[in-house]
Amino acid sequence: MGFGDLKSAAGLRVLNDFLADRSYIEGYVPSQADIAVFEAIDAPPPAELFHALRWYNHIKSYEKEKASLPGVKKALGKYGPADVEDTTGAATDSKDDDDIDLFGSDDEEESEEAKKLREERLAQYESKKSKKPAVVAKSSILLDVKPWDDETDMAKLEECVRSIQADGLVWGSSKLVPVGYGIKKLQIQCVVEDDKVGTDMLEERITAFEDYVQSMDVAAFNKI
Amino acid sequence: GPEELALLERLLGLPGGNKYGAQGERKVPVLQTNNGPGLTGFMTIAAHLVKQAKKDQLLGSTAEEKAVVQQWLEYRVTRVDGGSSKEDTTTILKDLNTHLEDKVYLAGNIFTLADILMYYGLHHVMVDLTVQEKEKYLNVSRWFNHIQHYPGVRQHLSNVIFIKNRLYTNVH
């Protein structure tokens, strides 16, 4: 997790997207998570990143109470979207123990945190060095989801399907296709990472919405 | 109506026991008080309850906040309760979405009665929005989702689902 480099425009854009439908970095109240991210940012985000700016001004209004906000400040890599790493520069921690220590840390209490930080930094170094994103096998799947009858609330059915979240699953566009007798099926696209999500799992989770879904079929399956 | 005032009383932590009547064709709520003819009008009663509960900050602290709170309370009664066509609803959602672009709460940085009553007033609208509409009015969705999670607000009202995976991201 992380926002990329929060000192860069790209990192602020990730933050902006993340905050479009959230009031806070974590949960529904201001917490140390917000303070951690706030302190990593040098200046108010530019006006066009209006979600980030809204959040920034809001958290700034808690400046005086910041020590008493709930939670514990963690490394930036613990916040934000799951598929982005934190690459923000050294100023996140005032502790000195963050340098990559080749001989390992002797301090028992800190070793977990320092070890994780070290591993994160090493991973970032590796990925920067190789500069090639790993090739991930993906497929584009078109699913047909059939309701019980013509009275089924298709909007709710679609919401149920889209509420299925999984690592490696991204929902795409959808449409309603009439199949006769006034019944419409939901045809919805999704992109999956082959080694993480399979059609069996999708079928299981979709048909779990027994109130709305009668059955699910794979209408089309293409390797990307 | 009176059910909403009961919700508000519970949220404010008031012991209950207030007696409400209704006046006239439009069923304007009336709060019977011990001394006098009673308080008339939804917003008047709501503000009174806030003061009864000694939570005046919910009406705003600065003069500007107070004015903004009053603005949205008035909006709630005249536009949300008053209008009911699909066009009215669309206008309301657009207004709100623009207003909430740079604010976490209706009055800016603090939670106020405006957020509470606009939440109750709009609940039936939000429940019926499609996934696309919720994404279109992204700021409203963010604000609504926030308010419904605020302790004590939602009570028995249904939780409106907002999906995190944003699909129609070309609307900004």
**Residues of B in Cβ contact (< 8 Å) with A154:** none
- Among B121, B158, B124, B166, smallest CA distance to B142 is for B166
Provide the percentage of residues in chain B whose pLDDT is more than 90: 63
**Residues of A in Cβ contact (< 8 Å) with B131:** 155, 158-159, 162
Provide the percentage of residues in chain B whose pLDDT is more than 70: 93
Cα–Cα distances (Å) from B96 to A134, A186, A205, B166, in that order, read 43, 31, 35, 20
Nearest residue, CB atoms, A21 vs list B103, B142, B161: B142
| Structural domains of chain A, ranges and CATH numbers in brackets | 9-78 (no CATH), 138-223 (3.30.70.60)
| DSSP 8-state symbol, B34 | S
Give the closest-approach CA distance of A163 to chain B in angstroms. Answer: 6
Average pLDDT over residues A112-131: 68
Question: Quick check: helix, strand or coil at residue A172?
Answer: strand
Average pLDDT over residues A47-74: 92
Which pLDDT score, from 0 to 100, does residue B53 have? 93
- The topology under which CATH files domain B1-54 is Glutaredoxin (3.40.30)
pLDDT digits (tens, 9 = 90+) for B123-160: 999 999 998 899 999 999 999 999 999 989 999 899 99
Average pLDDT over chain A, rounded to an integer: 84
What distance separates the 2 farthest-apart alpha carbons in chain B? 58
> Which residues of A80-129 form beta strands (DSSP E)?
none
- Is B166's Cβ below 8 Å from some Cβ in A? yes
Nearest residue, CB atoms, A171 vs list B143, B149, B165: B165
Alpha helices in A31-107 (DSSP H): 32-40, 50-60
- Confirm whether the ipTM is greater than 0.85: no
- Among A21, A15, A17, smallest CA distance to A34 is for A15
Helix/strand number for chain A, H first, E second: 6, 4
Question: Quick check: helix, strand or coil at residue B106?
Answer: coil
Which pLDDT score, from 0 to 100, does residue B101 have? 93
- Is A159's Cβ below 8 Å from some Cβ in B? yes
pLDDT higher at A56 or A123: A56
Residue in chain B lying closest to A52 (CA):
B102
Distance (Å, rounded) from C-alpha A206 to C-alpha A161? 6
Q: Is the dihedral of CA A169, A170, A173, A174 positive or negative?
A: positive
Provide the percentage of residues in chain A whose pLDDT is more than 90: 41
Which pLDDT score, from 0 to 100, does residue B167 have? 57
Distance (Å, rounded) from C-alpha B166 to C-alpha A165? 12
Q: Exposed (0-12), middle (13-18) or buried (19+): which is B86, by Cβ within 10 Å?
A: exposed
Beta-carbon separation of A21 and B164 below 8 A: yes
Nearest residue, CB atoms, B165 vs list A58, A155, A165: A165
Which residues in chain B (112-131) have CB-CB distances under 8 A to chain A? 130-131
**pLDDT for residue A110 is more than 60:** no
Q: What are phi and psi of A29, to 5 degrees?
A: -135, 155
pLDDT digits (tens, 9 = 90+) for A153-185: 999 999 999 999 888 899 999 999 998 888 999
Distance (Å, rounded) from C-alpha A119 to C-alpha A117? 5
pLDDT higher at A110 or B122: B122
**pLDDT for residue B171 is more than 80:** no
Residue in chain A lying closest to B170 (CA):
A17
Distance (Å, rounded) from C-alpha A190 to C-alpha A201? 13
The two structure tokens encoding residue A213: 């879904």
Beta-carbon separation of B146 and A162 below 8 A: no
Query: Does B1-54 match B57-163 in CATH topology?
Result: no
**Residues of B in Cβ contact (< 8 Å) with A170:** 165
- Is A20's Cβ below 8 Å from some Cβ in B? yes
- Is B164's Cβ below 8 Å from some Cβ in A? yes
Average pLDDT over residues A102-122: 62
Q: Which of B100, B165, B166, B168 to mutate to test the interface with A (most CBs of A within 10 A)?
A: B165
Which pLDDT score, from 0 to 100, does residue B172 have? 43
| DSSP 8-state symbol, B159 | P
Task: Give the CATH number of domain B57-163; options: 3.40.50.720, 3.40.190.10, 1.20.1050.10, 3.40.50.1100.
Answer: 1.20.1050.10
Confidence of residue A101 (pLDDT cuts 50, 70, 90): low
Average pLDDT over residues B13-42: 83
CB contact at 8 A, A5 and A88: yes
- Is B170's Cβ below 8 Å from some Cβ in A? no
Domain ranges of chain B: 1-54, 57-163
Average pLDDT over residues B99-109: 94
Distance (Å, rounded) from C-alpha A121 to C-alpha B3? 56
**pLDDT for residue A126 is more than 80:** no
**Residues of B in Cβ contact (< 8 Å) with A22:** 142
Cα–Cα distances (Å) from A173 to A30, A48, A179, B38, in that order, read 34, 27, 19, 55
Q: What are phi and psi of A78, to 5 degrees?
A: -95, -5
Distance (Å, rounded) from C-alpha A70 to C-alpha A37? 15
Which pLDDT score, from 0 to 100, does residue A120 have? 73
The model's pTM is 0.62
Distance (Å, rounded) from C-alpha B87 to C-alpha B172? 21
Question: Quick check: helix, strand or coil at residue A130?
Answer: helix
**Residues of B in Cβ contact (< 8 Å) with A190:** none
**pLDDT for residue B84 is more than 80:** no
**pLDDT for residue A93 is more than 50:** no
